[in-house]
């Protein structure tokens, strides 16, 4: 996944205050987060680049890439999160590229599993022979309203099982077996992907009316978001997180444990955002 900015990673303080646009209620936009003076780099598509406002590429793209394996292999929360590469790490905004390893334990009859996440500049994972070109979902939004340019290695995933290797793009793309020859040989034995009765937006509205179940219910999206929170903690703190899945604590690192809890809501927002 991409990066959005070309800022100097040697940053020593937050950017200077700028006049707040007349069309923006900065207090409401900031919500429960501790107050920062307005700066255009905090706003629009750049907000997710700052630790104080967003979750970087991991929190943005992870939900559209890791969701498949997380849900259907019942991963839950990791027991170890290790930053393997953090290029231009600083305390203000996310690294220019990151490689993060998530280790999940055995779950019932399913073996332990490792997810290795790559994002940023010049940080391309190796791909297996026969990978080909990954699918690019045409509905992916982009900062500034433009179009994401296709590449040979578009945002996506590789999944390695004992017998098969899969590839998939992001968002609503379908998993395929690689190499292509293997996929063709197995085509008649593979289940068909059912057509969705409604698109993503209509599904949400219909779910509000009780006519459909949302395809991203909280029982799926909440644990997945917690995985990314642990990844972001490892990025910000620049160290390995050993996590207790039962107590949901970081037993050997008091600072990391407190960081996961986070700051209390800003004064005036306590009743709207309770932790």
Give me the number of domains the chain comprises: 1
Q: Give residue 142's pLDDT.
A: 60
Each residue of 167-197: b (16+ CB within 10 Å) or e? Answer: bbbbbebebbbbeeeebeeeeeeeeeeeeee
Neighbours of 70 (CB within 10 A): 23
Mean local confidence (pLDDT), 257-269: 90
Closest CA to 100 of 219, 192, 233: 233
In a domain? residue 26: no
Q: Give residue 220's pLDDT.
A: 92
Helix (H, G, I), strand (E, B) or coil at 92: coil
Q: Are 35 and 266 in contact (CB under 8 A)?
A: yes
- Residue 191 has what DSSP assignment? P
In a domain? residue 7: no
pLDDT at residue 134 above 60? yes
Rounded to whole angstroms, the Cα distance separating 92 from 12 reads 8
In a domain? residue 151: yes
Contacts of 60 (CB under 8 A, 6+ apart): 1, 48, 54
Cis peptide before 179 (omega within 30 of 0): yes
In a domain? residue 219: yes
Which token pair is 152? 């040979």
Question: Using N-to-C axis directions, what is the helix angle for 254-261 and 218-237, rounded to 10°?
Answer: 130
**Single pTM value for the model:** 0.89
Q: Give residue 170's pLDDT.
A: 87
Query: What CATH number does the domain containing 77 carry?
Result: 3.30.360
Q: Give residue 249's pLDDT.
A: 96
Rounded to whole angstroms, the Cα distance separating 125 from 131 reads 12
In a domain? residue 44: no
Residue numbers of the domain that contains 103: 57-191+198-261
pLDDT at residue 152 above 70? no
Q: How far is residue 10 from each of residues 7, 27, 80, 92, 138, measured CA to CA in Å? A: 9, 29, 29, 10, 36
Share of residues in the chain with pLDDT > 90 (%) = 62
Q: Are 59 and 48 in contact (CB under 8 A)?
A: yes
Helix (H, G, I), strand (E, B) or coil at 116: strand
pLDDT at residue 82 above 80? yes
End-to-end CA distance of the chain: 30
Share of residues in the chain with pLDDT > 70 (%) = 91
In a domain? residue 50: no
In a domain? residue 225: yes
In a domain? residue 99: yes
Mean local confidence (pLDDT), 233-245: 98
């Amino acid at each position: 996944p991409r990066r959005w900015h070309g800022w100097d990673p040697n940053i020593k303080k937050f950017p200077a205050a700028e006049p707040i646009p007349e069309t923006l209620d900065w207090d409401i936009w900031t919500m429960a987060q501790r107050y920062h003076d307005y700066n255009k780099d905090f706003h629009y598509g750049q907000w997710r680049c700052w630790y104080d406002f967003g979750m970087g590429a991991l929190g943005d793209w992870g939900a559209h890439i890791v969701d498949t394996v997380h849900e259907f292999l019942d991963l839950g929360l990791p027991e170890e999160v290790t930053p393997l590469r953090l290029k231009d790490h600083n305390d203000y905004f996310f690294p220019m590229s990151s490689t993060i390893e998530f280790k999940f334990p055995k779950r019932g009859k399913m073996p332990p599993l490792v997810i290795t996440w790559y994002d940023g500049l010049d940080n391309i994972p190796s791909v297996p022979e026969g990978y080909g070109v990954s699918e690019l979902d045409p509905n992916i939004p982009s900062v500034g309203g433009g179009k994401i340019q296709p590449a040979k290695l578009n945002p996506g995933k590789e999944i390695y099982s004992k017998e098969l290797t899969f590839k998939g793009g992001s968002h609503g793309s379908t998993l395929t077996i690689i190499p292509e020859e293997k996929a063709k040989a197995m085509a008649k034995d593979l289940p068909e992907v059912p057509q969705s009765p409604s698109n993503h937006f209509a599904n949400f509205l219909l779910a509000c009316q009780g006519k459909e179940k949302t395809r991203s219910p909280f029982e799926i999206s909440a644990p997945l978001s917690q995985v990314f929170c642990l990844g972001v903690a490892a990025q910000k703190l620049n160290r390995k997180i050993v996590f207790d899945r039962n107590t949901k604590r970081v037993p050997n690192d008091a600072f990391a444990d407190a960081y996961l809890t986070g700051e209390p809501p800003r004064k005036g927002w306590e009743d709207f955002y309770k932790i």
